[in-house]
Structure 1
């Protein structure tokens, strides 16, 4: 497995890492088998989150006795000082460790959320935990590349995590600038949330970007670990067949896949359109029914609130039938 530098953190990480969302749907013995396959395949970067129900706890139990072989990354949506401090403590207990290499502000969706993180003391709590040696480095994740393009100039964070794959490449300018600033770049949704079936091809595309530090496909079987890890030592030059298959994937997904570019926003009714489609993906492609329904249920404005004005469709650079897609989201969660 090749390794890459995670920016100014100084950490060397496997260029294919492990995304901890899908293990919510398997049992602890299976997670143990998966993580031992990661160890065998030298997949050393593990990413999870406080919001992934049992993911932290199962990872912590699975790697006990092998803790020093892994770089742990987790995250929280906490914004206040008290909530952030509490969540860091819970993560340490769940992961059965005295320190976490990377702690990230999770799913910072807009400027308001970012301002809350800074003004309510969440970021200060992260700095405090870093000074105390509880966390090693501080990162941020978001699905909004325009927001991250502004945030990275503040110099507060050492890493960013953002979607990137064969059909979602709106983050390339962001990655270039983050790289110039010495930041580590973590690629989430490398298979577009399970929408891309050819995992090796999408990983090859991602790893051809020299600014990327690590890609973290979600995996819930040792077989998936084996297949994805192989790309960490495979030849990355494109074949003619690769180029042809890439175009096929883009054509197939072009009519119905939201790239979360955000150009459809703001919606006059207040719908967070990209996040609504993201929740549907968790429901249908990740198979996380209860988790997705809980998160969707907590959203104040849902797909059913669409009045079909069509403004979003006039802005979409991919000509997606957003109104019809929102109807399907509404139907999916009924």
Structure 2
């Protein structure tokens, strides 16, 4: 977790939550009950509930709206036989919480510790949360000072462990391994848009006529010495777009990438690439796009670092006895209790 993520978590924890409860839901729980044991550490229900509710608040505040549904509807979605979105999310949350304790246990291996400044920031955020939320809401999310502080200590250590755990990977990536090609392409869409922005599908006759136009452009490009795709597209009333790719790319279209990747020379032009949404014609402009290749190199290095980080956590999980108390964890129910982050009012609003 990077510094930005750390700050976002601390700010969120310092803010106010909006807690909603459905009929029949009891908020009382034994905050000292044990949800899981990670080695010698015991994860209390209080810490687990606060961590889970903070994650839930992020989902319900941002993702549910993006998905066009309420938090309750989102959690009830069945993503596979007998498994809801809530079930899947809670599985991930519990594993992530266990990993936080593993990171804390191995912090000394990397000479990571909480500084005085870290502790001051954590205390300030915990106190702010306690002040900004009602007793009823704090009870619902186990938002007592000790639980909030433990949560913030864990995520702060996580943020400080990220870099050292990723150090030492091979950062040398050859051009051959990262090579990205580039192309210019024209897309003849099977949909048309009117002046009001409404989109309608072309008729079969219109599609046939469009294919003739696309074929004419393709033929003229292949016959041309300059293969000026921009001039040809302009004449056909179309726009030229650009893309970088390699053999594993799927954007802008997997079939288009496959056809472009098969070309033998820079400047070569594909045959028509027909898809369900329209027709593509492309010209390969470079077999080694420098900017895109360098960006791919950085992506490969970051992937190697993440794989090393993940493998360390996997090893620690394997080497550590982890016991989960499912009956206790089940007491945290997203369906019966919603949580969102209260949005700050813009300056000047009443």
Between the two structures, name the one with larger relative contact order (CA 8 Å, sep ≥ 6): 2
Which bin holds the TM-score, normalised by the shorter protein?
Answer: under 0.3
Higher helix share: 2
Higher strand share: 2
Q: TM-score, normalised by structure 2?
A: 0.20
